[in-house]
Amino acid sequence: MQALIVLAITFALLWVLFILPQQRRVRAHQQLVSGLDEGDEVVLTAGIYGRITELGPEELSLEVAPGVEMRVARQAVLRRIQTAEPGPLEPDDLDEADEADEADKIDGIDEIEPGDALDARNEGPRSVGELPVQRPEATHRAEPE
């Protein structure tokens, strides 16, 4: 009798830990796929980003670049991309941005030009053209004849 109780508890524990979360994920994905609309930006399971241009019952057309469309299965959609609408900036936000710019100028970050490299001893920027060239040394010497 005890073995039967242990078996039942083990089965219930496995159900709660493994099967239930998977069922929730499947339901959430089905809800996502059924709620897709034209114009939504999505990511496919293959990692491809695009905007939905046409929706069918089993497939959709996805614009991945201007003038480039792909036809994919609706089930291939991994998630919808939430695009944040830029809201009006508050005066406090502007002050924080100005303070960050001032801190950059103090640190000298604005003085670094593209193509500059930092010295290995962190002594500041040094032009990439000034980096030492390491030439392989000869491994053998020619024997005189």
Q: How many domains does the chain have?
A: 3
Q: Rounded distance, CA 72 to CA 40, Å?
A: 14
Read off the pTM: 0.52
Q: Rounded distance, CA 89 to CA 78, Å?
A: 32
Residue 141 lies in a domain: no
Give the per-residue pLDDT at 44.
Answer: 96
CATH number of domain containing 54: 2.30.30.100
- Flag residues of the chain having pLDDT under 70: 84-145
Give the per-residue pLDDT at 104.
Answer: 54
42 plus 12 within the same structural domain: no
29 plus 47 within the same structural domain: no
Q: Rounded distance, CA 35 to CA 46, Å?
A: 20
Residue 145 lies in a domain: no
Residue 138 lies in a domain: no
Give the per-residue pLDDT at 1.
Answer: 87
Query: Which backbone phi and psi does 133 adopt, to 5 degrees?
Result: -100, 125
Structural domain range at position 3 = 1-34
46 plus 21 within the same structural domain: no
Give the per-residue pLDDT at 82.
Answer: 83
Residue 105 lies in a domain: yes
